Amino acid sequence: MISRGQAERTWRVKTKSPEQTMHLGRICGELLTQGSVIALMGDLGTGKTVFVKGVAKGVGVADEGEVTSPSFVLVNEYQGRFPVYHVDLYRLHNAEEVEDLGWEELICTPGVTLIEWAEKVLQLLPEERTEVHLEWVNAVERKLMFVGKGKVAHGLVQTLGEKWMKED
């Protein structure tokens, strides 16, 4: 289901396995353009890193197995069609700590920025972004809600929903 509003476009979907969540991420990654920011939000274990692995594969990272949660280093960089910056804010306590990472450079990059635990820094996120909210259904199923904020993100959410429904 895709709902349209002036400021946002929303699409909700349920995946039935980690592999399906990764596949959805791959389709998303294929659609991304340089400068895209994906803000991932959800409880521990809801599949944020699994989704990121799929996005990395879709962007052209040769081995999605190299994609790991950068909880201790905070930022990992991968190379695909363009650079992929994978940020994990799990260990940070406040927005001020994020600014010390060189935040502006990360979100204003010619690559793609994927931010796990983005709910910790909502006030620092760019207006143009795609939010992915992940929720538990059971041990393997997840609910994902994509929220496109801004014109480019609207298009991404719309196209992702259409492509997914064709493959489903």
29 is a domain residue: no
128 is a domain residue: yes
**Predicted pLDDT of residue 109:** 81
The residue segments making up the domain with residue 116 are 34-152
**Predicted pLDDT of residue 1:** 44
**Predicted pLDDT of residue 68:** 78
3 is a domain residue: no
d(CA 46, CA 69): 13
User: Could you tell me the CATH number of the domain that includes residue 52?
Assistant: 3.40.50.300
28 is a domain residue: no
d(CA 9, CA 3): 6
> Which residues make Cβ contacts (< 8 Å) with residue 85, sequence separation at least 6?
75, 76, 77, 106, 109, 111, 112, 113, 114
Phi and psi for 74 in degrees, rounded to 5?
A: 75, -35
- Look at the chain and report how many structural domains it folds into: 1
Walking along the chain (168 residues) 10 residues at a time, the average pLDDT comes out as 62 97 97 96 95 96 79 82 92 73 77 94 93 96 97 96 89
Structure token digits, residue 136? 């538990």
64 is a domain residue: yes
